[in-house]
Amino acid sequence: MTTPQTLLAKLWAAHEIMQREDGTSLLWVDRHFVHEGSHHAFAKLDSRSKKVAAPELTFGVVDHYAPTRAGDVAPDIRRMIDTLGRNAKAHGVRLFDLRDPGQGIVHVIGPEQGLTLPGLLINCGDSHTSTHGAFGALAFGVGATEVAHILATQTIWQKRPKTMRITFEGVLGVGVSAKDMALHWIAQLGADGARGHAIEYAGSAVEALSMEGRLTLCNLSIEGGARLGLVAPDQVTFEYLKGRNFAPKGAAWDQAVEDWTKLKTDSAAIFDQEVAFDAADVAPTVTWGTSPEDALPITGHVPDPDQLGGAKQGQARAALEYMGLSAGMRLQDVAVDEVFIGSCTNGRIEDLRLAAKVLAGRKAKVPGLVSPGSAAIKKQAEAEGLAQIFTDAGLEWADSGCSMCVGMNGDRVDAGKRCASSTNRNFKGRQGRGARTHLMSPAMVAAAAVSGHLADVRPLLEGRS
Amino acid sequence: MSGWTTITGRAVALPQANIDTDQLIAARFMSAPRSEGYGRFLLHDARQDQADHVLNRHDRADVLVTRRNFGSGSSREAAVYALVDFGIKAVFAPSFGDIFASNAVNNGLLPARLTEDEIEMLIGEMGQDDAPATVDLISGTAVIGGHKMSFDLDPAWQQKLVNGWDDIDLTAQHSDQITKFRAARFAAHPWALPAP
């Protein structure tokens, strides 16, 4: 009888070319995504006069610096985009550039194009590569030196991470989404709670999520310190992928589904850690501090640093000072200056639908930007009338890109301004120098927009099916 | 990258947890070519906002002592470039972001783990002052402010730092295995290739 295996163990074995005596494995990389930030890696390749080893498995996309609004593009941003174009051309890499109908955020278009598939090993020089694990792919972010190594060899040296299973059983409440599940577990376990681990998300509440929801959940794995996130592929996964551009067709599709069906943790397999949550306990959640672990239900209050112990006390005090909040105030009394909906975390069609459901027939009290996760999502949202709802509410409807999540393209939050944001990081200076970020679901961002302050989305959904 | 075995220099303490890579280097600096040096970008905003920031108070810092989850967040290797170009050769913390730690080793920067108690003791003792520090990679020990401690480091990473190995060169030795693996993988799983 064979030893019961976790999904991680199966994926690892399928990609392991060899293992060194020190336990480091050489892994085969099935898909490698590059973006403007990959210029350091291409420079390293050029300095060694090397070519991309497998250009047919390498895909480039303009996202981090993609302009989302009409107007002049700053020369350094233009240079970043042009450099990627030049590198892609020189190495024969398919590039989704700004005018390509397939353009969008790398972690949105991978699945959308059917480039992301169950059972693949996927790397990208971006920490949110964990997103693709939603398909049951072994997907993790790497740095520039490793990007250069993958370009040169189509392989990567890695030690197998430990395993952690996070289970959500039960049914999520109305107005509660995958974003809330993620902030909920990260608040419980900490921003380094899953450090060194591969997370497998399981349980009835995870199985009930759409692909969009699973992508959000896996995307945020890195914010809890995990190396990667996984959801075992199922019928929802297969239905999402069938017919997509680069997804297998015909006989290859049938064999794929047969292979993918085996990609699940055996029932008696042992995880290094097991954590379980009740889906009914997850509330619409917002962050109050400068780490994703600083998250609480919207019905809560800003914590009092004096009531926290040890190092946590100083950390909370510094966070409140940066965020301009006072201890004990109701989270729902925190006034916001602007809102942002988009990013690889929550810029998908379902996210836009949920936000639009709250915004329909209402006016935003603060300005805001909506940047769809891809050009295709933009088109779809316009066809579905969602774009009209955003603009009728007074929000700006922009092109797709990483935009205000990371501020590289010039979409920034000004110093001292407070933004309700559907993004992934409330780090100091992330959305712009001195910017104050509150993370939440797109529906909660919409609630903040129409309220002018952090707000519970649930009452705003009453009577809206 | 050249290998190394010992460091002798000055240590300073950054008493914050969760110093993410966005803080280490803000995104707006990342379009600069590395040849210009990234040291001036290190913790730029914090150093500009606080004149008495510990990195402003001392002419030199070779070793950082800091709290848990250092280098979490974005995979930007530029955070390591900023530390290295500033002159930092080793960081001591209870834990590191996984991608950061890997990037650090790829650039000759030591991410060494000490216990929470050891870190708190050092932070308490050093305050805003600097302290003499020596690090010995072979024995896995450091002496900071007169306290000798053993640090935790993956043996594979220790070897890499000592030898200054470049993975692309190492991997070249396995090119036949890689070629065979590739052929076998796509023969058994044709669906794994992007559809034409």
Whether residue A1 is predicted with pLDDT greater than 80 in this model: the reply is: no
How many other C-beta atoms are found inside a 10 Å radius of the C-beta of residue B6? 10
Percent of chain B with pLDDT over 90: 92
Task: Let me know whether A432 and A348 are in one domain.
Answer: yes
> Hey, are the CB atoms on B23 and A427 less than 8 Å from each other?
yes
Residue A1 maps to a domain: no
Instruction: Name the minimum distance, in Å, from the CA of A240 to any CA of chain B.
Output: 16
Q: Looking at this protein, which amino acid is placed at residue A85? A: G
- On whether any CB of chain B is under 8 Å from the CB of A255, the answer is yes
Q: A314: which chain B residues are within 8 Å (Cβ-Cβ)?
A: 15-16
Please report, to the nearest 10 degrees, the dihedral formed by the alpha carbons of residues A115, A120, A125, A126 taken in order.
80
Q: B26: which chain A residues are within 8 Å (Cβ-Cβ)?
A: 429, 433
- Cα A35 from Cα A18, distance rounded (Å): 29
> Hey, are the CB atoms on A56 and B103 less than 8 Å from each other?
no
- Cα A169 from Cα A430, distance rounded (Å): 34
Interface of A with B in 86-105 (CB under 8 A): none
> Hey, are the CB atoms on A79 and B193 less than 8 Å from each other?
no
Nearest residue to A189 via CA among A165, A171, A209, A212 = A165
Task: Let me know whether A322 and A238 are in one domain.
Answer: no
pLDDT band, residue A275 (cuts 50/70/90):
very high
State the pairing for strand pair B110-113/B63-66.
unpaired
Query: What are the structure tokens assigned to A373, written together?
Result: 């996760």
pLDDT band, residue B100 (cuts 50/70/90):
very high
Task: Let me know whether A425 and A329 are in one domain.
Answer: yes
Nearest chain A Cα to B178, which residue? Answer: A17
Sign of CA dihedral A254, A140, A115, B193: negative
Whether residue A2 is predicted with pLDDT greater than 90 in this model: the reply is: no
Whether residue A131 is predicted with pLDDT greater than 90 in this model: the reply is: yes
Whether residue A310 is predicted with pLDDT greater than 80 in this model: the reply is: no
Domain interval for residue A332: 285-460
Mean pLDDT, to the nearest integer, of A133-153? 98
Task: Let me know whether A294 and A200 are in one domain.
Answer: no
- On whether any CB of chain B is under 8 Å from the CB of A8, the answer is no
The residue assigned the tokens 């692909």 is: A211
Question: Is residue A68 within 8 Å of residue A398, measured between CB atoms?
Answer: yes
pLDDT of residue B13: 98
> Hey, are the CB atoms on B106 and A145 less than 8 Å from each other?
yes
pLDDT of residue B166: 86
ipTM of the prediction greater than 0.95, yes or no: yes
Give, in order, the Cα–Cα distances in Å from A61 to each of A128, A181, A216, A248.
Answer: 15, 29, 20, 21
Query: What are the structure tokens assigned to B21, written together?
Result: 């890579």
The residue assigned the tokens 């774009």 is: A387
Average per-residue pLDDT for chain A:
97
Phi, psi angles (nearest 5°) of residue A383:
-65, -35
Encode pLDDT of A6-57 as tens digits.
999 999 999 999 999 999 999 999 999 999 999 999 999 999 999 999 999 9
Estimate to the nearest angstrom the gap between the alpha carbon of A307 and the chain centroid.
Answer: 33
Question: Is residue A404 within 8 Å of residue A439, measured between CB atoms?
Answer: no
> Hey, are the CB atoms on B27 and A406 less than 8 Å from each other?
yes
Question: Is residue B133 within 8 Å of residue B7, measured between CB atoms?
Answer: yes
> Hey, are the CB atoms on A40 and B68 less than 8 Å from each other?
no
Task: Let me know whether A327 and A261 are in one domain.
Answer: no
CATH number for the domain running over B6-165: 3.20.19.10
- The domain locations on chain B are 6-165
- Of A243, A273, A303, which residue sits at a domain end? A273
Encode pLDDT of A286-299 as tens digits.
999 999 999 999 99
* Minimum-distance CB partner of A120 among B74, B159, B192: B192
- Cα B182 from Cα A51, distance rounded (Å): 18
- On whether any CB of chain B is under 8 Å from the CB of A28, the answer is yes
Q: B95: which chain A residues are within 8 Å (Cβ-Cβ)?
A: 192, 195
Residue A14 maps to a domain: yes
Task: Let me know whether A210 and A164 are in one domain.
Answer: yes
How many other C-beta atoms are found inside a 10 Å radius of the C-beta of residue A461? 17
- Of A225, A252, A273, which residue sits at a domain end? A273
- On whether any CB of chain B is under 8 Å from the CB of A415, the answer is no
Q: Which residues contact B83 (CB under 8 A, 6 or more apart)?
A: B24, B42, B64, B91, B104, B109
pLDDT of residue A359: 98
Interface of A with B in 332-391 (CB under 8 A): none
Nearest chain A Cα to B67, which residue? Answer: A311
Picking from B72, B106, B162, B176 by the largest number of A CB atoms within 10 A of its own CB, the best residue to mutate is B72
- Of A247, A273, A299, which residue sits at a domain end? A273
Nearest chain B Cα to A257, which residue? Answer: B191
Q: Looking at this protein, which amino acid is placed at residue A147? A: V
* Minimum-distance CB partner of B155 among A22, A246, A314: A22
> Hey, are the CB atoms on B75 and A428 less than 8 Å from each other?
no
Q: Find the CATH number of the domain harbouring A427.
A: 3.30.499.10
Nearest residue to B186 via CA among A255, A363, A389 = A255
Task: Let me know whether A336 and A232 are in one domain.
Answer: no
Residue A279 maps to a domain: no
First to last CA, chain A: 51
Encode pLDDT of B30-60 as tens digits.
988 888 899 999 999 999 999 999 999 998 9
> Hey, are the CB atoms on B156 and A425 less than 8 Å from each other?
no
Mean pLDDT, to the nearest integer, of B132-154? 98
pLDDT of residue A237: 98
Whether residue A177 is predicted with pLDDT greater than 90 in this model: the reply is: yes
Task: Let me know whether A322 and A437 are in one domain.
Answer: yes
- Cα A176 from Cα A282, distance rounded (Å): 7
Q: Which residues contact B105 (CB under 8 A, 6 or more apart)?
A: B111, B157, B160, B161
- Cα A5 from Cα A160, distance rounded (Å): 14
pLDDT of residue A20: 94
Chain A, chain B: beta-carbon pairs less than 8 Å apart: 190
> Hey, are the CB atoms on B45 and A429 less than 8 Å from each other?
yes
**Overall domain count for chain A:** 2
Whether residue A205 is predicted with pLDDT greater than 90 in this model: the reply is: yes
Task: Let me know whether A246 and A316 are in one domain.
Answer: no
